Amino acid sequence: MPEPHDRPEDRSPVVVALVGPASSGKSAVREALARRGAATIDFDDYSRDLLRPGTEEYGQLRASFGDEVLLADGSVDRAALAARAFSNGAARQRLNGIVHPPMLARLCVALAEFRAEPGTPVLVVEGAILGQLPTEGWFDRVVLVTAPSEVRAQRLRAGKGVSEEMAARLIALHEEMGVEQGPADEVVVNDGDRAALQARADELWEKLTRLV
């Protein structure tokens, strides 16, 4: 497996980890940076692909959690799976053990490929818990996107249809994991409207491109 930090000396693309708790606004920041020209990866997309019916990870998930986390068509019921994982530490560890190693392997390859042929000066990888995974040395900058917990809870309920109980569990889990406590090179506070967040993303883009 190639090392994610291997890159030619005559190139200096910037690889950014975009971290932060649920519904802090990470995706909005990632999309804003993409509009400015950044390449982007949604780390969670790897798990969605890995858990497609027929994959090895899908089989492991079904063996570990049973059909109660599947929809009628056999696909994964992500809401049911999340409910199990967020409420039970042992279940969460089993799920992480199934998906995190292959997700990290895919990301390692993607980062090495980008650094070999960047094509654009900045790559942004969105992943709430990237800072809690064994990715030391993989990123040039860590950007934390944050918002007050009551704002995040409201977004979870209104925007994603999450129940009040589940929203509280998810917020508490990310606090317990220290998602906002790790070292960050930049902090984007998303406590205003979309225009304010866009302005902060534009400012972040200017900072990142000055590093290239």
Q: pLDDT tens digits for 111-146?
A: 999 999 999 999 999 999 999 999 999 999 999 999
When divided into structural domains, the chain yields a total of: 1
Q: Is residue 4 part of a domain?
A: no
Query: What is the distance between the terminal CA atoms of the chain, rounded to a whole angstrom?
Result: 26
Q: Is residue 8 part of a domain?
A: no
Q: Which residues contact 205 (CB under 8 A, 6 or more apart)?
A: 32, 33, 36, 38, 122
> Which residue range is the domain that position 137 belongs to?
14-209
- According to DSSP, the residues that pair with 145 across neighbouring strands are 188
Full-model pTM: 0.90
Q: Is residue 133 part of a domain?
A: yes
The percent of residues above 70 in pLDDT, for the chain, comes to: 95
Please report which confidence band the pLDDT of residue 49 belongs to, taking 50, 70 and 90 as the band edges.
very high
Angle (CA) 142-148-151 rounded to 5° is 120
Whose CA is closest to 173, among 190, 156, 186? 156
Q: Is residue 5 part of a domain?
A: no
Please report which confidence band the pLDDT of residue 33 belongs to, taking 50, 70 and 90 as the band edges.
very high
Location of structure tokens 């109660």? 68
Q: From the centroid of its chain, how far is CA 166? A: 19
Q: CATH no. for residue 133?
A: 3.40.50.300
Report the residue count for the chain. 212
What average pLDDT is seen over the chain?
91
